[in-house]
Amino acid sequence: MHSTSFALKDVEHIFNSVYQDIDGYALSRQGKNRLKNNNKALIYGEVTLTALAAILHDLPIQAQHRIFYDLGSGTGKAVVGAALLGSFERVVGIELVEELAATARQLAQRLPPRFPPQARNHRQIVLEFHHGDFRDYNFSDGDVIFIQSTCYDAALMHELAQKLLHQKLGSLIITVSQSLIVPHLRVLKTQKCVMGWGTVSVYIHEKI
Ligand SMILES: C[S@@+](CC[C@H](N)C(=O)[O-])C[C@H]1O[C@@H](n2cnc3c(N)ncnc32)[C@H](O)[C@@H]1O
Comparing CA positions, the residue from 79, 170, 73, 76 lying closest to residue 121 is 79
149, 34 contact by CB (below 8 A): no
Length of the chain: 208
The answer on pLDDT for 28 being more than 90 is yes
The residue nearest atom 13 of ligand 1, judged by CA position, is 72
Domain 9-207 class in CATH: alpha beta
Measured in Å, residue 95 CA sits from the centre of ligand 1 at 6
For the chain, give every domain's residue range: 9-207
The residue nearest atom 1 of ligand 1, judged by CA position, is 45
State pTM to two decimals. Answer: 0.94
What percentage of the chain reaches a pLDDT higher than 70?
92
Give the whole-angstrom CA distance, residue 185 versus residue 157.
Answer: 13
The answer on pLDDT for 5 being more than 50 is no
∠ at Cα 197 (194, 201), nearest 5°? 45
The residue nearest atom 25 of ligand 1, judged by CA position, is 42
Measured in Å, residue 118 CA sits from the centre of ligand 1 at 31
Residues whose beta carbon lies within 6 Å of some atom of ligand 1: 28, 41-42, 44-47, 70, 72-74, 77-78, 94-97, 100, 133-135, 148
The answer on pLDDT for 113 being more than 70 is yes
